[in-house]
Structure 1
Amino acid sequence: MKLMNILLAGLLLWGAAACSDDDKPTFPEEPTYDMTGFAKGADVSWLTQMEASGKKFYNASGRETECMTLLRDLGMNSIRLRVWVNPSDGWCNKSDVVVKAWRAHQLGMRVMIDFHYSDVWADPGSQYKPAAWVGLSLDELKTAIADHTKDVLNALKEKGITPEWVQVGNEITPGMLWDEDATVSGATYDVPKEGVTYAKNEKNFADFITTGSNAVKEVFPNAKVIVHLHDGNNNGTYRWIFDILKANNTPYDVIAMSLYPGTDNWQEMVAACVANMEDMVSRYNKEVMIAEVGMPWDEPEISKSCLTELIAKSKAIEQCLGVFYWEPQSYGSWNGYTLGAFDESGKPTVALDAFNQ
């Protein structure tokens, strides 16, 4: 069965799966939930794939509930969705993203779109070009970035969906659009040592972000463009990357961070991340946010304490826009991921209570 048929079937199942009409999303024109101000959200990009595999989700009383509705009822008001260019299995491509974004929109939730500019995961260890972009000249590569960005965003626009935030690249600390190694993009994994420069390709790196940013603004002028790095507690890395962007007059609106604390060091990591956000606001005059956070699913009380402190301290920063949990609905070691916030029965753990405070 083709992917779109699977997705459409999944939507029908989603509407029919609840035990009664009371369980179904009502899609109010004027949501009674707080959908403004500080964003409390989740990246649920795996959701349609999980549903197609038979995964179901339940509220605390054991009632089967559509996942985004469940997260909304737990205090979340925003959904983040990743986009891959041409993934081999179809998940997280344009069509899949539109389906999930439409569902979030119907629930009155705010939407963030996260462009990876890859066919697969783009993260600190992997920033490879989509297969169709390999061998393109620099100008052709910029055209591909712009065309892909506008294609996905226009598909959303056609459905009446306006994303509030758009990421141009995902955890791009080591650069973007590699061929075989990081030197293509002009950045390396570690912060460069004093006296060592990486000027050879820094402009290309900045130009890729500029190209994506300009494409976003062409379709959605009011969307906030995000530049996202990993290790939100590492101030040196952030100063390095954002000094490069400042030197190249790169246009963007928000500095976003990932933070994955351990159960034994979360307090110091949260403190360092908060200090880093404050420094980014002061140094670059930009808004900030936590685009990804995760903790071990089987340590829910510690996770709740960490999230409660992170959210409270983030909200205390006037220029901080929000906090997003990464794939909290993952359970049963889905794809080997163990940093979700649902237990093995498909119910949310107490960790997510932090989003309802």
Structure 2
Amino acid sequence: MKRRMTISMAAMLLCFGMSCKKDTTPAGNQPTSTTTTTHLATEATSTFANGSDVSWVTQMEASGLKFYNSSGTQQDLFTILKGLGINAIRLRVWVNPSSGWCNTADVVAKAKRAVAAGMSVMIDFHYSDTWADPGDQNKPAAWTSYSTSTLISTVYSYTYSTLSALKSNGITPTWVQVGNETSNGMLWTDGEASLSSTNFQNFANMITNGYNAVKAVFPSAKVIVHLANGYDNTTFRWMFDGLKTYGAKYDVIGMSLYPTTSNWSTLDSECLTNMNDMVSRYGKQVMICEAGMSESAATTCKSFLSDLITKVKSVSGGNGLGVFYWEPEAYNNWQGYGSGAFDPTGKPTVALTAF
């Protein structure tokens, strides 16, 4: 369902290399920082996040789909996942989706269910009306006429408003992603990082405004900057060197990892190397925000996840925070997605026993 494309690193590096001067573009109406926090969190994370993104659940339920535990008994999805060791739920947020799914009200409803099940919550802002990923970072329709400064300030006001809705419903997220798979920025073209130093500065200001909004509502929540392809150290260094240069504020470096059945061991190892490099180079904690593998290879997927979880737990200084499986509840080729972890009868596969 999610399109993934490789960013041309040669183009990125050339563009970034053209100018590393500090741009003085203001971040809308909110304060920006000219430095980035590089110290590691001193406290250990109390609970490793065994996580799942289940943003499709309400839409699936409305379509009549049901979920069953391993014994074949129909249960609420959150109950099933809790029984499998899942202790954290990730939910994407779209600004004004045409179908209504994943808007603020839908996210609040799902987050309340997660909290009721005793799970931690991650909120994943796409800052779009639909999918945001390395090949698609389109502005919400209502924001397309905004100037760059208004766009940047709107990141603050929209983030603040959405999180305030969660807070008023008794929900306190543990983590908040400011953007989804922002391997080349977000809210294109204003925040398309590879275009110029000015655009990179715009992106950094967007991140900082998102960070400031999160901390204004939930001071203890950890703010994540999330990139695709967690094995790709070149792209990660390019992006986070740039965010450091342009003064972005954030707490955690998030990664996606979607290997094949033949290359998962290699990519897991490369991802671990990258995670340790991020901790050492930028003084940040790391997390796998998305992971997945073909649902037809459940046993291999279990091996992949077990190995990945072990590697994240081994990150230097205990700075690996967790692993989230992306939409495991999707089954019967829901929305054309083939990497769920439930079988055609709506029961979890062996893959999720890795948690």
TM range (shorter): 0.7 to 0.9
Q: Is the 8 A contact 1:186 1:199 kept in 2?
A: no
**What is the one-letter code of the residue matched to 2:343?**
D
Equivalent residue for 1:258, pick from 249, 256, 259: 256
Match of 1:187 in 2: 193
Determine whether 1:344 maps to 2:348.
no
Determine whether 1:231 maps to 2:229.
yes
Match of 1:293 in 2: 291
Offset, 1:313: 1.1
Determine whether 1:58 maps to 2:68.
yes
**What is the one-letter code of the residue matched to 1:105?**
V
Q: Is the 8 A contact 2:192 2:203 kept in 1?
A: yes
Please list, as runs of the form range in 1=range in 2, the aligned pairs for 1:315-354 lying within 5 A after superposition: 315-317=313-315, 318-354=318-354
**What is the one-letter code of the residue matched to 1:331?**
Y
SS at match of 1:299: helix
**What is the one-letter code of the residue matched to 1:84?**
W
**What is the one-letter code of the residue matched to 1:342?**
F
Q: Is the 8 A contact 2:95 2:129 kept in 1?
A: yes
Gaps of 5+ in 2: 1-44
Is the deviation greater in 133-142 or in 70-79? 133-142
Determine whether 1:42 maps to 2:52.
yes
SS at match of 2:295: coil
C-alpha distance in 2, partners of 1:256/1:235?
Answer: 13
Match of 2:305 in 1: 307
TM-score calculated relative to the size of structure 2: 0.86
**What is the one-letter code of the residue matched to 2:276?**
E
C-alpha distance in 1, partners of 2:120/2:144?
Answer: 34
C-alpha distance in 2, partners of 1:273/1:157?
Answer: 34
Relative to structure 1, is the Cα distance of residues 124 and 117 closer, same or farther in structure 2, using a 3 angstrom cutoff?
same
C-alpha distance in 1, partners of 2:77/2:237?
Answer: 37
Q: Is the 8 A contact 2:152 2:202 kept in 1?
A: no
RMSD (CA atoms): 1.2
Match of 2:151 in 1: 141
Offset, 1:36: 4.6
SS at match of 1:184: coil
Q: Is the 8 A contact 1:186 1:200 kept in 2?
A: no
Equivalent residue for 1:163, pick from 148, 170, 173: 173
Match of 2:120 in 1: 110
C-alpha distance in 2, partners of 1:171/1:307?
Answer: 20
Show CA shifts across 1:130-172 (max 9, x none): 0010111122112221111011100110111100000000000
SS at match of 2:241: helix
C-alpha distance in 2, partners of 1:76/1:131?
Answer: 35
C-alpha distance in 1, partners of 2:247/2:155?
Answer: 19
Match of 1:85 in 2: 95
Match of 1:192 in 2: none
More relative contact order, 1 or 2 (CA 8 Å, 6+ apart): 2
**What is the one-letter code of the residue matched to 2:143?**
W
Equivalent residue for 1:124, pick from 121, 134, 138: 134
Show CA shifts across 1:61-106 (max 9, x none): 1000100110010001000000000000100000000000000001
C-alpha distance in 2, partners of 1:271/1:332?
Answer: 31
Determine whether 1:173 maps to 2:183.
yes
Off by >6 Å, runs of 4+ in structure 1: none
C-alpha distance in 1, partners of 2:200/2:149?
Answer: 16
Offset, 1:339: 0.5
Show CA shifts across 1:262-311 (max 9, x none): 00000000000111000000000000000000000010110000000000
C-alpha distance in 1, partners of 2:162/2:197?
Answer: 32
**What is the one-letter code of the residue matched to 2:191?**
S
TM-score calculated relative to the size of structure 1: 0.85
Match of 1:249 in 2: 247
Q: Is the 8 A contact 2:179 2:226 kept in 1?
A: yes
Offset, 1:201: 1.4
Match of 1:270 in 2: 268
Q: Is the 8 A contact 1:145 1:208 kept in 2?
A: yes
SS at match of 1:80: strand
Show CA shifts across 1:165-200 (max 9, x none): 00000000121101xxxx532424xxxxxxxx8313
SS at match of 1:111: strand
Q: Is the 8 A contact 1:330 1:342 kept in 2?
A: yes
Report % sequence identity.
59
C-alpha distance in 1, partners of 2:248/2:157?
Answer: 19
Match of 1:216 in 2: 214
Match of 2:40 in 1: none
Q: Is the 8 A contact 2:84 2:352 kept in 1?
A: yes
**What is the one-letter code of the residue matched to 1:38?**
F
Aligned residues: 309
Offset, 1:120: 0.5
Show CA shifts across 1:308-342 (max 9, x none): 00001111121010000000000000000001101
Match of 1:202 in 2: 200
Gaps of 5+ in 1: 1-34, 189-196
